[in-house]
Structure 1
Amino acid sequence: MSGQQRRQDVEQGTIPLRNRDAYWRTVFDKYDRDHDGKISYDELRALVESREYENEIPEHVVQKIMTFADQDGSGYLDFREFLDMIHHPQLQSVFGHLVQRYVNSMIPGRRPPVSTRPVDHVDGLYEEEYSCWPPPICMVLISLIEIALFMYDSLDQGANVTGKVANMLIYNPYRRFEAWRYFTYMFVHIGPFHLVVNLLVQLLLGVPLEMVHKWWRVMLIYLAGVAAGSLGTSVTDPTVFLAGASGGVYALVTAHIATIIMNWAQMEFAIYQLLIFLIITISDLGTAIYNRYIISKDESIGYTAHLCGAIAGLLVGINVLRNLEVRSWEKKLWWICLILYVGCMAALIIWNVAFPNYFPPSRPGSSF
């Protein structure tokens, strides 16, 4: 059978295709954005508008499609109703591009070269997920709070920030009983350079993550990195003060590594992205460790917070970030990362609580 004849038979549905349910399940899961096993009206509208049209499809047309496809009148489309809708002859003008994508994937010999493939090919599905709605404002709001607190203390104390806010929020090893400091040190920055670097990195890395994975996932990863940074530092460097959002920033760096690992097949240039983030992480951590232990340079940078934040970002990122196509090995990796993260955090917390003599004595009136 010629490739052209096979293509025609596939499009007409006369040849049963293996793995077709797996393909349509992937498409269904992609637009089931809240992962409740159903396609809502808003999710259907996103699906309808997932290709470029000369004119925007009116909302009443989308509503008619929903009413037509919703066979049980539940207000949602389950997977079977979704399949019937995709393959219905009267709706091919709307969903024919999805069928064509499937046909292309089933006939390797007919694929165009990489340079001429359409943007909706499997490579690049991750990039299609970028969206400015809802607005990616989580990292922006955190950055604004950091700027406001820094300016408040700067106006009071000058460039070397040791003001009231910093004294109240910084991680102070002599005031470990004030548990909020394990998180709030992220709002304290010692000098404008320290602030600007953290702001630039967290905005450049955090906003793209929010555009795909939504703000709450990015916030979880960021806070996980902050908490891991302070807890890890308290155990490895028990007399060190901590200021800055570096634990959270490094969590964002390795969160990108996590999403590259989990969405490798759906990303364009995944290998290059992975190499870039690995080089950034290893170079910075290596420099900090070298300065601290090899040349004994007087460094105020808490590299342990960076390292622990990076580990937390990777482990939590694999657990909470969106995975466009889940494979069996990824499920095993998910459990491994979950157990490692929970185990490590539990060990750090228990160490802080159970061995008070390991740490410097508490000084209720101490400041930095």
Structure 2
Amino acid sequence: MEGREIEETDAFPVERDEEAPEPEDEEQEDDETGGPVGCCEKFQHSISRWMLPAHKRDTYLERANCCPPPIFIILISIGELAVFIYYAVWKPQKQWVTLGEGIWNSPLAYKPDKRKEAWRFVSYMFLHAGVQHIMGNLLMQLLLGIPLELVHKGFEVGMVYMSGVLAGSLASSIFDPLNALVGASGGVYALFGGYFMNAVVNFREMIPLLGVFRILAIVLIVGSDMGFALYRRFISHEVGYKVSFVAHIAGGVAGMTVGYVFFSNYNEKLLKDPRFWLCIVGYIVFVLFAVLFNIFLSPA
């Protein structure tokens, strides 16, 4: 409801591109050049009508293409898979199901006693604790990240993803300071958080059944994954480090703030939008607080 009231009252001084006339409901037979509309274009037209408010459809159709291709999410996934294979095959344990000391002794893992090595707050995303861990993260980030990057491009998706990764390790260092951290769940949950906020904000302007399906699908996927993370953290009696689950929550929150701006406001001039500054300033304040906490207050 807030999104509609903002647009009606012009509460924020945001410049918008000139909106094109409402497209006709009938399927267009020709594109702008006069040629026949292909299956891909028809599919994109259908998706835009089902999933987006009317005033954002034209911009979606302009930006939904493979030029440039979704290179960020693909490269990140390849990097994570390559590191996993390295520690599963080349390192001494030589097995895939659950990796052992190899990943915990890696210079990439976030460990409380090694937090002075600042790169670990980001590099931990390349390590995974086993086949189930990495396959779940890769599947979710590819299924969600590629469609997002086709529209929002690599910079926007990369900003949201990396904000979730950083928020995950910093939040874990505050709320779960004695446990190590591996995995890309913070980035994956940031994508979910941004997509979820997009679905909630535009819910009244979409087909109701589709809006409910999108929200329920996100809730079910996130709920089941969080349940498994909580089980491994508090119930499972595996030997060694217990992987922190706080990164899941922090990544989702980061996605709902930073991702709200990058994934929902196609035409807005961000530097003139107070919501942009509210999200960015809030995120920066959290990062600064977490850094100071790790320097002066951490019990680790």
TM over 0.5: yes
Q: 1:347 Cα shift?
A: 1.8
Q: How many residues align?
A: 254
The runs of at least 4 consecutive aligned structure 1 residues that moved more than 6 Å come to: 117-121
Larger Rg: 1
- 1:211 equivalent in alignment to 2:211: no
3-state SS of paired residue (2:19): helix
For residues 238-277 of structure 1, the aligned pairs below 5 Å read 238-261=177-200, 263-264=202-203, 269-277=210-218
Unaligned runs of 5+ in 1: 1-21, 29-48, 57-113, 360-368
Mapped to 1, the partners of 2:291 and 2:51 lie a distance apart of 47
Query: Do residues 341 (structure 1) and 283 (structure 2) align?
Result: yes
| Post-superposition CA distance 1:130-182 (Å, at most 9, x none) | 22221012111111111112212222221225438961111111111100000
Q: What does residue range 178-197 of structure 1 map to in structure 2 within 5 Å? A: 178-197=117-136
1:136 matched to which residue of 2?
A: 70
Residue 209 of structure 1 aligns to a residue whose secondary structure is helix
* 1:69-111 deviation per Cα after TM superposition (whole angstroms, max 9, x unaligned): xxxxxxxxxxxxxxxxxxxxxxxxxxxxxxxxxxxxxxxxxxx
> Contact 2:126–2:182 at 8 Å: present in 1 too?
yes
Change (3 A) 1:178 1:314: same
- Quote the sequence identity (%): 34
SS of alignment partner, residue 107 of structure 2: helix
Query: Judging changes above 3 Å, is the alpha-carbon distance between structure 1 residues 27 and 263 closer, same or farther for their aligned structure 2 residues?
Result: farther
Is 304-313 or 259-268 further displaced after alignment?
259-268
Out of 28, 34, 37, which is 1:53 matched to?
Answer: 34
- Provide the C-alpha distance between the structure 1 equivalents of 2:254 and 2:104, rounded to a whole number of angstroms: 27
Aligned equivalents of 1:248 and 1:143: distance in 2? Answer: 11
1:251 Cα deviation from its structure 2 partner: 0.8
CA 1:280–1:120: 2 relative to 1, 3 Å: closer
Aligned equivalents of 1:305, 1:23: Cα separation in 2: 35
**Counterpart secondary structure, 2:89:** helix
Measured in 1, the distance between the counterparts of 2:52 and 2:179 equals: 50
Structure with more contact order per residue of length (Cα contacts < 8 Å, sep ≥ 6): 2
Q: Distance in 2 between matches of 1:331 and 1:197?
A: 36
State the TM-score, normalizing by the size of structure 1.
0.59
Q: Contact 1:259/1:318 (CA < 8 Å) preserved in 2?
A: yes
Q: Do the aligned partners of residues 50 and 225 (structure 1) sit closer, same or farther apart at CA in structure 2, a change above 3 Å counting?
A: farther
Q: Tell me, which stretches of 5 or more residues in structure 2 are unaligned? A: 1-14, 22-29, 38-45
Q: C-alpha root-mean-square deviation of aligned residues, in Å?
A: 3.6
Conserved? CA contact 2:103–2:129, under 8 Å:
no
Q: What is the TM-score of this pair, normalised by structure 2?
A: 0.71
Cα distance in 2 between the residues matched to 1:120 and 1:289: 34
Match of 2:250, as an amino acid?
C
Distance 2:193 2:119 in 1: 25
Per-residue CA deviation, residues 159-210 of structure 1 (Å, 9 max, x unaligned), is 2254389611111111111000000001111222211111111111111110
Partners of 1:244 and 1:190 in 2: how far apart?
A: 7
User: Deviation of residue 320 (structure 1)?
Assistant: 2.7
- More deviation in 183-192 or 160-169? 160-169
Cα 1:226–1:343 change in 2 (3 A) is: same
Distance 1:149 1:214, change over 3 A: same
Against the structure 1 CA distance between its residues 23 and 323, is the aligned structure 2 distance closer, same or farther, given a 3 Å change threshold? closer
Aligned twin of 2:225 = 284
Letter in 2 for 1:189: H
Contact 1:146–1:188 (Cα < 8 Å) also in 2: yes
Match of 2:54 in 1: 122
Does the C-alpha gap of structure 1 residues 23 and 146 become closer, same or farther in structure 2, counting only changes over 3 Å? closer
